[in-house]
């Protein structure tokens, strides 16, 4: 169903923010303007849609934001939108402002909402992958992931300096509630000794073996923990290790939301710009209820139903690389 001509689109960011979302907003607004389509910015994700918080966005309103972290449109995880009457309110906002279609920038929760909006009300939505987690099927990269990785690795390098000075074992927790993409890539890039991720069934015994089998004199050991690991977060794992041995001088560092801020990397700016332009062009040519991604360097379109049906698997080869190089 192509629906009536699109003269005005809405754009919003939803779920956890990520560096590069502003670059994506800029790309959407400017590519729409080039095609003679107006853009309305929706503030605070689905919550802004439910409660009618919008502002008009022209090309000059998105000047000088490509380099800024966060999102000028704010973001939220909306409770109201989970309910049918909240979604009806959202659709009323669209009619009130003459918004014909939407561009949603976010992760799987965002696309689940967009898919429901299409099924229940026939609202045309196209998505841009915006999450630091990089866990969406249908794209090799998500906006914010590259920056988050670089930020985390820089922090871990600093932790390595102090860990080495004091002969310490550090547990460093990185983000990834349901997935270990960030943890695994950080572990390899920062030369960590071990990684714990939700995708791999690992035990405290296995961790203890890996630590005690580490050959030669080591001045420090770093274990990266994905926050969603089934053995618990970094504090919990450190507590379990301490309960079994006093052989290590243990410290814990939780990197947390610092991974979500800061200026976007070049890769994230380019990914956001490419997918933003493609999203508007695809939407205007009749594509919706789908996410724009990049696979093997080329723009791809994946139906929301598929993008949210499963998490993108981690690169298991990196587990092997880590093990070899930590020896
Ligand atoms: O989904 C992105 C993410 O940063 C996850 O890695 C993390 O678990 C979650 O958001 C944190 O969410 P909040 O900012 O709501 O605490």
Please give the distance, rounded to the nearest whole angstrom, from the Cα atom of residue 152 to the centre of ligand 1. Answer: 15
Average pLDDT over residues 93-98: 98
Taking the C-alpha atoms of residue 310 and residue 240, their distance in angstroms, rounded to an integer, is: 31
Residue 50 has pLDDT above 60, yes or no: yes
Number of helices (H), then strands (E), belonging to the chain: the values are 11, 11
Residue 327 has pLDDT above 60, yes or no: yes
Q: Which of 13, 16, 258 to probe ligand 1 with, by most ligand atoms within 8 A of CB?
A: 16
Residue 207 has pLDDT above 90, yes or no: yes
Residue 186 has pLDDT above 70, yes or no: yes
Residue 307 has what pLDDT?
94
Sign of CA dihedral 149, 153, 155, 159: positive
Alpha helices (H) along the chain: 21-34, 45-50, 84-96, 108-121, 145-165, 181-189, 204-212, 234-244, 266-284, 304-307, 317-325
The response to whether residue 178 sits with its C-beta less than 6 Å from ligand 1 reads no
Taking the C-alpha atoms of residue 145 and residue 179, their distance in angstroms, rounded to an integer, is: 13
Cβ–Cβ under 8 Å, residues 23 and 272: yes
**Atom 5, ligand 1: residue with shortest CA distance:** 176
The response to whether residue 283 sits with its C-beta less than 6 Å from ligand 1 reads no
Residue 241 has pLDDT above 90, yes or no: yes
The residues facing 295 across adjacent strands are 298
Share of the chain above pLDDT 70, in %: 98
The response to whether residue 37 sits with its C-beta less than 6 Å from ligand 1 reads no
């Amino acid at each position: 169903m192509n629906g009536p001509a699109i003269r005005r689109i809405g754009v919003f960011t939803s779920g956890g923010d990520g560096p590069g979302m502003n670059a994506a907003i800029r790309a959407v607004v400017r590519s729409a303007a080039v095609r003679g389509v107006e853009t309305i910015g929706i503030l605070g994700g689905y919550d802004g849609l439910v409660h009618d918080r919008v502002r008009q966005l022209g090309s000059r309103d998105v000047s000088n934001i490509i380099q800024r972290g966060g999102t000028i449109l704010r973001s939220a995880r909306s409770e109201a939108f989970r309910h049918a009457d909240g979604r009806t309110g959202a659709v009323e906002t669209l009619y009130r402002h003459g918004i014909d279609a939407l561009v949603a920038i976010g992760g799987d929760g965002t696309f689940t909402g967009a898919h429901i909006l299409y099924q229940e009300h026939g609202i045309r939505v196209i998505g841009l992958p915006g999450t630091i987690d990089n866990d969406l099927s249908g794209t090799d990269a998500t906006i914010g992931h590259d920056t988050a990785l670089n930020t985390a690795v820089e922090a871990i390098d600093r932790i390595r300096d102090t860990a080495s000075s004091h002969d310490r074992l550090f547990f460093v927790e990185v983000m990834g509630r349901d997935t270990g993409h960030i943890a695994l890539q950080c572990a390899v890039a920062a030369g960590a000794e071990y990684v714990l991720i939700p995708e791999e069934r690992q035990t405290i015994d296995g961790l203890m073996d890996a630590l005690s089998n580490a050959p030669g004199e080591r001045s420090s050991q770093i274990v990266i923990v994905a926050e969603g690991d089934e053995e618990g977060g970094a504090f919990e794992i450190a507590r379990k290790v301490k309960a079994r041995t006093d052989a290590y001088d243990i410290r814990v560092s939780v990197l947390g939301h610092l991974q979500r801020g800061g200026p976007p990397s070049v890769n994230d700016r380019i990914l956001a710009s490419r997918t933003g332009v493609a999203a508007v062009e695809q939407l205007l040519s009749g594509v919706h209820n789908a996410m724009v991604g990049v696979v093997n360097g080329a723009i791809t379109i994946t139906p929301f139903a598929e993008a949210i049906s499963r998490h993108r698997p981690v690169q298991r080869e990196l587990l092997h690389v880590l093990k070899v190089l930590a020896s």
